[in-house]
Amino acid sequence: MSHSLKLNNETEQRDEILQLVNFNLGKEEFAVDILKIQEINRVVEITRVPKSPDFVEGVINLRGKVIPIIDLRKRFGLEVTGLTKETRIIVVDIDNKVVGLIVDAVSEVLRLPVGTVEPPPPMVAGIDSEYIYGVGKLEDRLLILLDINKFLTTKEKEKLLKT
């Protein structure tokens, strides 16, 4: 599913439902399209890779395949905290490459009507946050909707995801 949806209230979009996986980084709630997620795992031993970007924790062996692991707290410039029993690695597909994302906790799978999603406010939608494609309103909560294909710059993708 492309996230280049026009986030407005056109009739056909009001009925459209986004299926999202909700996760936390600190007190903030984020969500990504469930179709981009391959699996969710507990944190395993991560092997550091010299000279990798600071937000790359290293690599893990996932059933015989070596995949890079990105700490989303570091990637988003949030305060880094230690791992807990709730910490998870969300295994995702970024431009047909498998990558693991470290998050504080995975909460739930949500169904969110497209009509409840608004574009990010202009001060949030800066060039550094082009990976935020919307803010979802769910009862008394706000979810930051992420486009995982935009987490990395083209140069970072080339470096990190080369095969």
Evaluate whether residue 140 is within a structural domain. yes
Cα of 81 vs its chain's centroid, Å: 18
Question: How many domains are contained in the chain?
Answer: 1
- The one-character DSSP state at 55 is T
C-beta of residue 66 within 8 angstroms of C-beta of residue 60: yes
| d(C-alpha 32, C-alpha 21), whole Å | 6
Evaluate whether residue 10 is within a structural domain. no
Evaluate whether residue 127 is within a structural domain. yes
Evaluate whether residue 37 is within a structural domain. yes
Evaluate whether residue 6 is within a structural domain. no
Evaluate whether residue 129 is within a structural domain. yes
- In terms of residue numbers, what domain contains 26? 17-152
C-beta of residue 117 within 8 angstroms of C-beta of residue 18: yes
Q: Which residue has the higher pLDDT, 41 or 5?
A: 41
Amino acid 2: pLDDT: 45
Q: Taking the chain, what is the end-to-end CA distance rounded to the nearest angstrom?
A: 25
Amino acid 86: pLDDT: 96
Evaluate whether residue 163 is within a structural domain. no
Q: Which residue has the higher pLDDT, 157 or 135?
A: 135
Evaluate whether residue 158 is within a structural domain. no
